[in-house]
């Protein structure tokens, strides 16, 4: 029997905001709720005491709150709502509709944080044990894919509205999320109507799904994974599962003996977790369960989820940009509903070989908890409705309007890559007039421009008697670090008078690498490295994600930037053997899946096996990794073998 002792550990987040502590382990038992004078309710958790200590910590961190419009340096809110029309009817080429673009952030203002500090001291003055309580900032948060969503009925129809947004909720205060919506006349009229002062709420809500970690109280008991029983169930699944009860299909457990890869949904995973508990594959033994039911239920959920993730691979399927069926008051359980799972046969066989695993619950365990922030556009619109820089109407065919503004808006992902990859982007514009010289202009956006002006840029087109109804054309070229221009010869694209959102040529993708640390140690492997190859700015690029057997962290992740028109990456695993050196496996491909498990071939137990010898030979030619991203040298590329990875995605 193998017994795991679950100790304390820290989740180390990326260094993205200096005001956020990098060593948070928050105490479930040290929760404080405070109401500010403006009605905002704040929930804080204290930092857990050191190992063996019972003293309360004086450091407190608050849950995310206070979602609001971002502002420029001059105080103007980053919100734009333009309704446009023409004198001509639609049958004669006229257009009507609206364009909305806004940027949001969350977090307490400096004044709110000062008030919170004062009220925290007042509330805890008698129980702080001589330690002055201090508000250190927000809790450390996890933000996954699709963690930001827009809830709107009028914008849910793709025929009447087009939406672009970041898709990922900001994980720290002051970081911005962006959304841009182009509406036809019907969607624009509905949206405008719901924004009137007489309405109690508008038809546009924003929802952020985030997670934070708490150190749960100690519980006397244990949880056992009976892999032997699971093996018996998979071999006789048709006799043991009543399909009519719709708990889970027999094909799911039967996947262990099948070579076919089938996906299951979050609903099916939840059903499977219930089945595992009912059949005692996951056996729960907790003393005084009723007295600790909330904590015990969370521990059971945590370990059943761990069970599933230890034998299945998770992949993102994605949902539409809007989710009109969700209620702002009753949000969906979690962004995991947008994922699917498939059984990993190698992982399952590895677990079954362990027979029994027992987890001692006597020591406290760090567990993720969901937190959702919901806000409605009506909460902020009243503050900008009379601001001409934010709300306007324009008649595109007005004879008085002899000049026409061509608007460009840099999306949030494009703005973010300026910090690490891009010097500037130049947008070239051309418009053929019905007579005379064509109109040409260009505008350059760099870091200074973003700081002073924001993400919106425009050029003014003088009609000069032009009667042509043709729209303009534009193209953009990015200046990368190292004096590289991308692309070398950008294509001309047809623009729209209502505005154009400039999307970055690359998009962030988070790769997760997980391994069984005990198995690595058992097979004398001190380190596993995931080498990832992908297209970035048209060049094959390599990154490494290391996983140390002695590090105590079974899953690591890294964010990379990949070309927007690619759908995957190539990867291979390199294991460092304590006596045999580096062992490199073959390259494989991943399509729309950001998770890789460090599956060690069973043949590695036999150093004379063909697979072991092949891996050892491949490991001899691997250069020492620096851990930093690098462009792959010519002659060593591998992506040509996996053309499905970087083929252009068409919609």
107 lies in some domain: yes
At 625, is the pLDDT very low, low, confident or very high (cuts 50, 70, 90)?
Answer: low
309 lies in some domain: yes
Q: What is the pLDDT of residue 490?
A: 93
Biggest CA–CA distance in the chain, Å, is 87
CA dist 414 and 227 (Å) reads: 47
At 92, is the pLDDT very low, low, confident or very high (cuts 50, 70, 90)?
Answer: low
More confidently predicted of 476 and 268: 476
12 lies in some domain: no
Here the contacts of 333-340 (C-beta below 8 Å, separation 24 or greater) are: 333/370, 334/209, 334/370, 335/144, 335/145, 335/146, 335/147, 335/209, 336/266, 337/266, 338/145, 338/146, 339/266, 339/314, 339/315, 340/263, 340/264, 340/265, 340/266, 340/314, 340/315
Q: Which 3 state secondary structure label does DSSP give 318?
A: coil
- 63 and 206, same structural domain? yes
Report which listed range, 165-169, 187-191, 248-252, 627-631, is most confident: 187-191
Q: Are strands 525-536 and 500-502 parallel, antiparallel or unpaired?
A: unpaired
472 φ/ψ angles, rounded to the nearest 5 degrees: -85, 170
266 φ/ψ angles, rounded to the nearest 5 degrees: -60, -40
- Tally of structural domains, the chain: 4
Reference 140, options 254, 262, 30, 15; nearest CA is 15
Q: Poorest-confidence range of 11-20, 221-230, 243-252, 325-334? A: 11-20
At 199, list the tokens: 């309405």
Q: Poorest-confidence range of 278-282, 456-460, 563-567, 620-624? A: 620-624
Task: Name the domain boundary from 472, 504, 536.
Answer: 504
At 40, is the pLDDT very low, low, confident or very high (cuts 50, 70, 90)?
Answer: very high
Q: What is the pLDDT of residue 246?
A: 42
At 32, is the pLDDT very low, low, confident or very high (cuts 50, 70, 90)?
Answer: very high
392 lies in some domain: no
This prediction has a pTM of 0.58
At 237, is the pLDDT very low, low, confident or very high (cuts 50, 70, 90)?
Answer: low
Report which listed range, 80-84, 157-161, 289-293, 620-624, is most confident: 80-84
What is the separation of C-alpha 643 from the centre of its chain, rounded to a whole number of angstroms? Answer: 26
User: Mean pLDDT over residues 446-464, rounded?
Assistant: 84
- 252 and 194, same structural domain? no
3 lies in some domain: no
Task: Name the domain boundary from 478, 504, 530.
Answer: 504
Q: Poorest-confidence range of 79-83, 347-351, 570-574, 611-615? A: 347-351
- 492 and 429, same structural domain? yes
- 500 and 514, same structural domain? no
- 444 and 301, same structural domain? no
Domain that holds residue 471: 405-504
Task: Name the domain boundary from 504, 527, 549.
Answer: 504
CA dist 347 and 224 (Å) reads: 18
- 638 and 522, same structural domain? yes
Among all chains, which residue has been given the structure tokens 């702002």?
328
At 645, is the pLDDT very low, low, confident or very high (cuts 50, 70, 90)?
Answer: low
400 lies in some domain: no
Q: What is the pLDDT of residue 442?
A: 93
- Percent of the chain residues past pLDDT 90, beyond the cut: 26
Distances (CA, A) of 538 to 389, 526, 531, 534: 38, 35, 19, 9
CATH value at residue 415: 2.60.40
Q: What is the pLDDT of residue 63?
A: 94
- 275 and 151, same structural domain? no
CA dist 60 and 63 (Å) reads: 10
- 409 and 358, same structural domain? no
205 lies in some domain: yes
Q: Residues 115-162: pLDDT tens digits?
A: 999 999 998 887 756 788 999 999 998 887 778 888 888 888 888 888
Q: In what order do the strands lie in the sheet with 356-360?
A: 2-5, 356-360, 221-226, 282-286
Q: Residues 358-398: pLDDT tens digits?
A: 888 877 788 889 999 999 988 888 888 888 888 888 777 65
Here the contacts of 298-304 (C-beta below 8 Å, separation 24 or greater) are: 298/216, 298/367, 298/369, 299/216, 299/219, 299/223, 299/361, 299/365, 299/367, 300/223, 301/273, 302/365, 302/367, 302/368, 303/223, 303/359, 304/273, 304/276, 304/277
- 54 and 200, same structural domain? yes
At 307, is the pLDDT very low, low, confident or very high (cuts 50, 70, 90)?
Answer: confident
326 lies in some domain: yes
Q: What is the pLDDT of residue 548?
A: 93
- 526 and 467, same structural domain? no
Q: Residues 418-444: pLDDT tens digits?
A: 877 889 999 999 988 777 778 889 999
Q: What is the pLDDT of residue 287?
A: 81
- 287 and 151, same structural domain? no
- Percent of the chain residues past pLDDT 70, beyond the cut: 81
Q: Residues 497-506: pLDDT tens digits?
A: 778 888 888 8
- 487 and 523, same structural domain? no
């Amino acid at each position: 029997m193998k017994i795991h002792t679950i100790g304390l550990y820290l989740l180390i987040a990326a260094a993205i905001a200096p005001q956020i502590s990098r060593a948070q382990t928050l105490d479930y038992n040290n929760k404080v709720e405070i109401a500010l004078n403006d009605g905002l309710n704040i929930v804080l958790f204290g930092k857990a005491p050191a190992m063996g200590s019972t003293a309360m910590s004086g450091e407190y961190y608050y849950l995310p709150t206070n979602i609001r419009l971002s502002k420029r340096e001059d105080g103007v809110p980053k919100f734009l709502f333009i309704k446009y029309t023409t004198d001509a009817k639609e049958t004669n080429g006229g257009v009507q509709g609206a364009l909305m673009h806004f940027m949001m952030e969350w977090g307490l203002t400096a004044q709110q944080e000062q008030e919170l500090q004062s009220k925290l001291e007042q509330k805890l003055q008698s129980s702080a044990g001589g330690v002055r309580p201090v508000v250190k900032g927000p809790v450390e948060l996890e933000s996954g894919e699709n963690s930001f969503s827009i809830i709107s009925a009028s914008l849910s129809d793709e025929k009447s509205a087009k939406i672009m947004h970041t898709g990922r909720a900001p994980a720290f205060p002051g970081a911005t999320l962006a959304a841009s919506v182009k509406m036809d006349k019907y969607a624009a009229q509905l949206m405008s109507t719901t924004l009137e002062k007489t309405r109690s709420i508008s038809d546009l809500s924003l929802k952020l799904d985030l997670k934070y970690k708490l150190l749960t109280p100690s519980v006397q008991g244990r949880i056992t994974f009976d892999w032997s029983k699971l093996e018996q169930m998979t071999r006789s699944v048709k006799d043991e599962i009543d399909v009519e009860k719709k708990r889970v299909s027999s094909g799911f457990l039967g996947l262990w003996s099948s070579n076919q890869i089938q996906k299951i949904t979050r609903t099916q995973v939840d059903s499977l977790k219930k089945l595992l508990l009912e059949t005692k594959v996951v056996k729960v033994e907790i003393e005084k369960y009723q007295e600790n039911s909330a904590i015990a239920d969370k521990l059971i959920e945590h370990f059943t989820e761990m069970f599933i993730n230890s034998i299945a691979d998770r992949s993102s399927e994605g949902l539409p940009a809007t989710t009109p069926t969700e209620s702002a008051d009753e949000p969906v359980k979690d962004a995991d509903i947008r994922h699917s799972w498939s059984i990993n046969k190698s992982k399952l066989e590895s677990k079954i070989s362990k027979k029994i695993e027992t987890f001692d619950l006597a020591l406290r365990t760090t567990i993720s908890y969901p937190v959702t922030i919901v806000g409605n556009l009506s909460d902020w619109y009243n503050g900008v409705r009379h601001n001409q820089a934010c709300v306007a109407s324009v008649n595109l065919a007005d004879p008085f309007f002899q000049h026409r503004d061509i608007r460009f808006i840099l999306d949030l992902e494009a703005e973010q890559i300026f910090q690490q990859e891009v010097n500037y982007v130049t947008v070239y514009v051309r418009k053929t007039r019905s007579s005379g010289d064509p109109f040409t202009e260009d505008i350059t956006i760099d870091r200074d421009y973003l700081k002073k002006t924001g993400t919106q840029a425009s050029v003014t087109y003088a009609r000069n008697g032009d009667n042509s109804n043709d729209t303009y054309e534009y193209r953009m070229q990015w200046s990368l670090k190292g004096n590289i221009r991308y692309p070398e010869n950008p294509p001309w694209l047809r623009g729209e008078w209502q505005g154009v959102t400039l999307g970055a040529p690359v998009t962030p993708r988070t790769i997760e690498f997980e391994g069984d640390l005990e198995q690595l140690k058992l097979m004398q492997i001190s380190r596993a490295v995931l080498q990832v190859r992908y297209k970035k700015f048209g060049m094959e690029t390599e990154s490494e994600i290391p996983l140390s057997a002695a590090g105590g962290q079974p899953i690591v992740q890294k964010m990379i930037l990949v070309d927007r028109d690619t759908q995957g990456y190539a990867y291979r695993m390199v294991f460092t053997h304590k006596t045999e050196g580096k062992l490199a496996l073959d390259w494989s491909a991943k399509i729309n899946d950001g998770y890789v498990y460090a599956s060690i071939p069973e043949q590695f137990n036999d150093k004379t096996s063909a697979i072991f010898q092949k891996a050892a030979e491949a490991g001899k030619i691997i250069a020492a990794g620096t851990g930093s991203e690098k462009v792959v040298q010519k002659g060593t590329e591998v992506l040509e073998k996996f053309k499905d990875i970087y083929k252009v995605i068409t919609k």
